[in-house]
Amino acid sequence: MNGGGLGYGRRKLTGHVMMAGSLVAACIAVALLFWIIGYVFIKGIHGINLDFFTELPTPVGVEGGGLANAIVGSIIVVGMAALMAVPVGVAAAVYLSEYGRGLFASSVRFVADVLAGVPAIVAGIVAYALVVSRMGRFSAFSGSVALAILMLPIIIRSSEEIFKTVPNTLREASLALGIPRWRTVIKVVLRTASGGLVTGIMLAVARVGGEAAPLLFTAFSNSFWSLRPDQPMATLPVQLFNYAISPYDDWHEKAWAAALVLIFMVLMLNIAAKMYAHRRPGR
Amino acid sequence: MTDKLKVEALSAWFGNNPALYDINIAMPEKSVTAIIGPSGCGKSTFVRCLNRLHEEVPGASSRGIVLLDGEDVYSPGVDPVLLRRRMGMIFQKPNPFPTMSIAQNVVAGILLERRMSKSEVEESAEKYLKLAALWDEVKDKLHKPGMSLSGGQQQRLCIARALAVEPEVLLADEPASALDPISTAKVEELFMDLKERYTIIVVTHNMQQAARISDKTAFFLTGKLVEYDATAKIFTNPSRKETEDYVTGRFG
Ligand SMILES: Nc1ncnc2c1ncn2[C@@H]1O[C@H](COP(=O)(O)OP(=O)(O)OP(=O)(O)O)[C@@H](O)[C@H]1O
Ligand SMILES: [Mg+2]
């Protein structure tokens, strides 16, 4: 039998055309990404040296210096944000996937979805109103609150999805062994999902780690060393922003270097997340 | 023989849909009871009502009396968690915990409750793996993941896990339906041995299996218990026409 003849030939042709089209689109997307990374690399690599990681920023006109305080500040601000958002987000996700039914649960889901779409700068305004205006000054803590607001919905929704991938048969196996529900959730559901959970959290951290807008009027910036959460703190994205809008060539170079470091840190987090997700299960 | 389990007027629902209607049945101590019937007739729901797993399904409910050693498992003072420790359950698809080793899986019922030393885990695992006739096959790889075993081995691992909480009753919901004939034979043989110590209730779609391993057989149809009698009688001389049609393969 002549299997379809013309029809088959046309189907095959359409298939080839579609594949070629999507391949081209994929190439454009990847090329664009590499171009951005490559461009930042070329512009930023000059500014990278040991001082960049160990020295404080210098005043205008003074050569040298670095962004040590901003790098450490970013880690602190994002770390405190994660400390706030991760427990709340994971607990909320546990509620949604393990206990939540009916109207309240779907309202929580809806709110999380809306919150996920909120522009970053709005999170900053909220943190400003909640913390900065009450404390009467900018602070690292208020910056963390802003970032936590951004992280929360990402963590809730990604964790809930991960919990849903834990087969129900495992929950039932545990319940049938006479393990109470709450213990089943902690020891079976959370443990089985831990790989995906950690991956989701790392991606959420990477996502907010590069935000400058909500930090501009919360954590603000600081040219000196400060580890106090109740004081303004320098962060990489804000420092990058300040340098980029300045009229000085030296600072522009530093802005590119900061961008490179930021991209590198986000990249590292993504790679770590991938590696954690693909680590050998069992142990 | 005394009745280990006695069920009186048990009905069950999923939301507003009834799944069981007014079931009355009693299982003697240290016997094997087979539950047969076409798909969707409520066999799984019935056994899950016995250890109160049914109520964990969102929207599911039940009414009636289930007496375990003469005590109603649905009376307000009974903690379902403690009840389930007295009734081990084996599911259709083997479901070892993927984060645990073979040894840890065996003692999961204890390990999920409290810390155990490595030697305690190994000792306890050995005991129940032997009981589940799996010891010889896994004794050299106790610390490999439970998921690394074959389907039939995983199912015996799950049986060992159920036995390790020292239950009095074993509920098995089509325990061999996902297994090859050799694994099935092993599991059947195991049930025959275990019957000396446990009261066993086994759901099965396999008539020969029911005939081989059970003392009594209950035939369910559309949520009702149609006939319950000695296995030999059910398969050779049932009193009800529906039972005869089913066991002779005329429908279902
Ligand atoms: N989670 C559930 N939600 C709603 N209805 C359900 C659920 N589980 C089972 N049912 C319904 O309850 C009835 C009895 O189902 P049950 O699983 O007890 O049947 P079964 O005899 O075990 O069937 P099978 O031989 O296919 O396993 C069926 O009509 C089924 O559609
Ligand atoms: Mg079933």
Domains of chain B from N-terminus onward: 3-247 (3.40.50.300)
Residue A83 reports pLDDT greater than 70: yes
Domain co-membership, A181 together with A88 = yes
- Cβ–Cβ under 8 Å, residues A174 and A187: yes
Domain co-membership, A33 together with A144 = no
What's the whole-number average pLDDT of chain B? 92
Q: A193 falls in which pLDDT band (50, 70, 90)?
A: very high
Structure confidence at residue A63 (pLDDT): 82
**Cβ–Cβ contact B162 with A under 8 A:** yes
- Cβ–Cβ under 8 Å, residues B192 and B213: yes
CA end-to-end distance (rounded Å), chain B: 33
Domain co-membership, A120 together with A175 = yes
- Cβ–Cβ under 8 Å, residues B104 and B111: yes
The pair of three-digit structure tokens given for residue A52, joined into one six-digit string: 């960049």
- Cβ–Cβ under 8 Å, residues A205 and A82: yes
What is the Cα–Cα distance from A10 to B230, expressed in whole angstroms?
A: 66
What is the Cα–Cα distance from B201 to B35, expressed in whole angstroms?
A: 7
Candidates B44, B102, B112, B118: best to mutate against A (most CBs of A within 10 A) is: B112
Structure confidence at residue A47 (pLDDT): 87
- A165 closest CA partner among A141, A192, A140: A192
Q: Report yes or no on A130 lying in a domain.
A: yes
What is the Cα–Cα distance from B190 to B162, expressed in whole angstroms?
A: 13
What is the Cα–Cα distance from A56 to B199, expressed in whole angstroms?
A: 75
Distance, CA B41 to ligand 1 centroid (Å)? 7
Residue B196 reports pLDDT greater than 70: yes
Which residue on chain A is closest to B98 by alpha carbon?
A282
Structure confidence at residue A171 (pLDDT): 95
Residue B131 reports pLDDT greater than 90: no
Q: A282 falls in which pLDDT band (50, 70, 90)?
A: very low
What is the Cα–Cα distance from A23 to A263, expressed in whole angstroms?
A: 26
Is A184's CB within 8 Å of B112's CB? yes
Mutate to test the pocket of ligand 1, among B10, B16, B17 (most ligand atoms within 8 A of CB): B17
Q: Whose CA is closest to atom 19 on ligand 1?
A: B40
Burial of A25 (0-12, 13-18, 19+ CB in 10 A): exposed
What is the Cα–Cα distance from B181 to B184, expressed in whole angstroms?
A: 5
Q: Assess whether the C-beta atom of B57 lies below 6 angstroms from ligand 1.
A: yes
Measured between CB atoms, which of B51, B81, B162 is closest to A180? B81
Residue A2 reports pLDDT greater than 70: no
Q: Report yes or no on A96 lying in a domain.
A: yes
Distance, CA A183 to ligand 2 centroid (Å)? 26
Residue A223 reports pLDDT greater than 50: yes
**Cβ–Cβ contact A175 with B under 8 A:** yes
Residues spanned by the domain of A18: 6-47
Q: How far is A187 from chain B (nearest CA, A)?
A: 7
What's the whole-number average pLDDT of chain A? 90
Q: ipTM of this model?
A: 0.92
Q: Report yes or no on A54 lying in a domain.
A: no
**Cβ–Cβ contact A282 with B under 8 A:** yes
What is the Cα–Cα distance from A71 to A73, expressed in whole angstroms?
A: 5
Say what percent of chain B tops pLDDT 70: 99
Q: Which atom of ligand 1 is nearest to the CA of B57?
A: 1
The pTM for the full model equals 0.84
Beta strands in chain B (DSSP E): 3-14, 17-28, 32-36, 60-68, 71-72, 87-90, 169-173, 199-203, 216-221, 224-230
Residue A242's CB is within 10 A of a number of other CB atoms, namely: 20
What is the Cα–Cα distance from B219 to B249, expressed in whole angstroms?
A: 13
The residues near A259 (Cβ < 8 Å, ≥ 6 apart) are A40, A43, A44, A240
What is the Cα–Cα distance from A211 to A209, expressed in whole angstroms?
A: 6
Query: pLDDT for A115-168, tens place per residue?
Result: 989 999 999 999 999 999 999 999 999 999 999 999 999 999 999 999 999 999
Distance, CA B80 to ligand 1 centroid (Å)? 22
Q: A283 falls in which pLDDT band (50, 70, 90)?
A: very low
**Relative orientation angle of helices A249-277 and A6-44, to the nearest 10 degrees:** 130
Which residue on chain A is closest to B89 by alpha carbon?
A176
Domain co-membership, A233 together with A269 = yes
Measured between CB atoms, which of A167, A192, A282 is closest to B145? A282
Say what percent of chain A tops pLDDT 70: 96
Domain co-membership, A189 together with A246 = yes
Domain co-membership, A265 together with A142 = yes
Q: Helix, strand or coil for residue A108?
A: helix
Domain co-membership, A32 together with A79 = no
Domain co-membership, A17 together with A80 = no
Residue B44 reports pLDDT greater than 50: yes
Query: pLDDT for B206-251, tens place per residue?
Result: 999 999 999 999 999 999 999 999 999 999 999 999 999 999 887 6
Residue A4 reports pLDDT greater than 80: no
Q: Helix, strand or coil for residue B88?
A: strand
Measured between CB atoms, which of A178, A183, A184 is closest to B82? A178
The mean-pLDDT minimum among A60-69, A129-138, A245-254 falls in: A60-69
Q: Is the dihedral of CA B86, B65, B80, B50 positive or negative?
A: positive
- Cβ–Cβ under 8 Å, residues B219 and B229: no
Candidates B99, B141, B142, B158: best to mutate against A (most CBs of A within 10 A) is: B99
Domain co-membership, A190 together with A264 = yes
The residues near A196 (Cβ < 8 Å, ≥ 6 apart) are A158, A162, A165, A277
Q: Report yes or no on A211 lying in a domain.
A: yes
Q: Assess whether the C-beta atom of B44 lies below 6 angstroms from ligand 1.
A: yes
- Cβ–Cβ under 8 Å, residues B156 and B176: no
Task: Point out the ligand nearest to the CA of residue B19.
Answer: 1
Q: Which atom of ligand 1 is nearest to the CA of B220?
A: 21
Is A175's CB within 8 Å of B95's CB? no
**Cβ–Cβ contact B222 with A under 8 A:** no
Measured between CB atoms, which of A172, A192, A281 is closest to B91? A172
Domain co-membership, A11 together with A112 = no
* Binding-face residues of A in 99-158 toward B, CB within 8 A: 101
Q: A102 falls in which pLDDT band (50, 70, 90)?
A: confident
What is the bridge-based pairing of β-strands B169-173 and B199-203?
A: parallel
Residue A158's CB is within 10 A of a number of other CB atoms, namely: 19
Which residue on chain B is closest to A181 by alpha carbon?
B81
Q: How far is B53 from chain A (nearest CA, A)?
A: 7
**Cβ–Cβ contact B71 with A under 8 A:** no
Mutate to test the pocket of ligand 1, among B13, B14, B55, B201 (most ligand atoms within 8 A of CB): B14
- Cβ–Cβ under 8 Å, residues B216 and B230: yes
Domain co-membership, A21 together with A158 = no
Residue B68 reports pLDDT greater than 70: yes
What CATH number has the domain bearing residue A231? 1.10.3720.10
What does the pLDDT average to over B92-106? 94
Domain co-membership, A30 together with A138 = no
- Cβ–Cβ under 8 Å, residues B11 and B62: yes
Query: pLDDT for B144-192, tens place per residue?
Result: 999 999 988 999 999 999 999 999 999 999 998 878 888 888 889 888 8
Residue A5 reports pLDDT greater than 70: no
Count of domains forming chain A: 2
B227 strand-pairing partners: B219
Which H/E stretch holds residue B190? helix B181-194
